[in-house]
Structure 1
Amino acid sequence: MEWQLVIDCREPSRLVAFWAEALRYRPQPAPDGHATWRDWYLSVGIPADELGEGDCADRLEDPTGAGPRIWFQPVPESKSIKNRLHIDLKVGGGRGVPLARRRAAVDAEVARLTGLGARVLGSMDDPDNGYYSAQLADPEGNEFCVV
């Protein structure tokens, strides 16, 4: 079975740009025979007035083929409540890595992601249990963690 992650959003191109860099993914090319996703959407009957401007690049893929594809589905409403599902970016190496090194790796990734447009919502620093993570939001407010 194949599966993809679908993220509702107002501006797919904005989130494609952010998450491509955040995950080290790349925009998924348009289907064969179509120069852009916009061309493909028009070919399957999506009205032009529903597509907005640009090439409608709204999908990402893992260049290694290991991770799921991600589709940023345009919706009319803005995000209004906490996510019921979120992404954890695991950069610390796990509990086998000393906490100080994991903390440094998490902090470095948080700095990189805030430079891309994320904002920090908080952190969990529990040295007694050997745990450290940061909670962030992408440019549209979708929460995710860096651990």
Structure 2
Amino acid sequence: MAVKLQVTFDAAHPPTLGRFWAAALGYVEDSPPPPFTTWEEALDAMNVPLDQRESAYAVVDPDGVGPRLWFQRVPEGKTAKNRVHLDVGVASHLPREERPAAVRARVAELEALGATRLYEKDELGSFWVTMTDPEGNEFCVQ
């Protein structure tokens, strides 16, 4: 049996957080269900009220390899450290001495998208930077 993996994020504004992660991972907005060509058409047909149209958002790997990411609006803000986080791998294919520069370059790109750098670690033969996305969710770049 094939298992489809989806990672769900609670968010204050799902489209904004979803667009950040799409840019961070090279993902794209999920397509509307057939026969619709736009989300506006689909939401109209589903009678979704205008004030609820930004309550969810999804992005997908255009190559169909990575999990779908689903962002759902919740009323409460983030209150504690994540129990699960994403690791964004950018340098594992490089020789060890080249990895910090590659990771730092990607970190700078993610900062330009709205992420915040928390700290760097160089331990156990690995180098990574812990960051937060625009809504404060921790993730690592390695």
Q: TM-score, normalised by structure 1?
A: 0.84
Aligned amino acid, residue 81 of structure 2: K
Matched, 1:13 2:12: no
Q: Which residue matches 2:96?
A: 99
Q: Which residue matches 1:76?
A: 75
Q: Tell me the SS of whatever aligns to 1:58.
A: strand
Matched, 1:110 2:107: yes
Q: Percent identity?
A: 42
1:48-73 Cα deviation digits (max 9, x unpaired): 44335xxx671101010111111101
Q: Which residue matches 1:61?
A: 60
Q: Is the 8 A contact 1:38 1:57 kept in 2?
A: no
- The unaligned stretches of length 5 or more in structure 1 are none
Q: Which residue matches 1:142?
A: 137
Following TM superposition, by how much is the alpha carbon of 1:41 offset from its aligned partner in structure 2, in angstroms?
4.7
Looking at structure 2, the residues matched to 49 and 14 of structure 1 have their Cα atoms a distance apart, in angstroms, of 16
1:76-129 Cα deviation digits (max 9, x unpaired): 1111111111000111125xx432201111111101100111000111123xx3
Looking at structure 2, the residues matched to 36 and 79 of structure 1 have their Cα atoms a distance apart, in angstroms, of 31
Looking at structure 2, the residues matched to 38 and 142 of structure 1 have their Cα atoms a distance apart, in angstroms, of 29
- The unaligned stretches of length 5 or more in structure 2 are none
26-35 vs 66-75, greater mean Cα deviation: 26-35
Looking at structure 1, the residues matched to 5 and 45 of structure 2 have their Cα atoms a distance apart, in angstroms, of 24
Q: Tell me the SS of whatever aligns to 2:62.
A: coil
Aligned amino acid, residue 53 of structure 2: L
Cα RMSD of the aligned pairs, angstroms, is 2.0
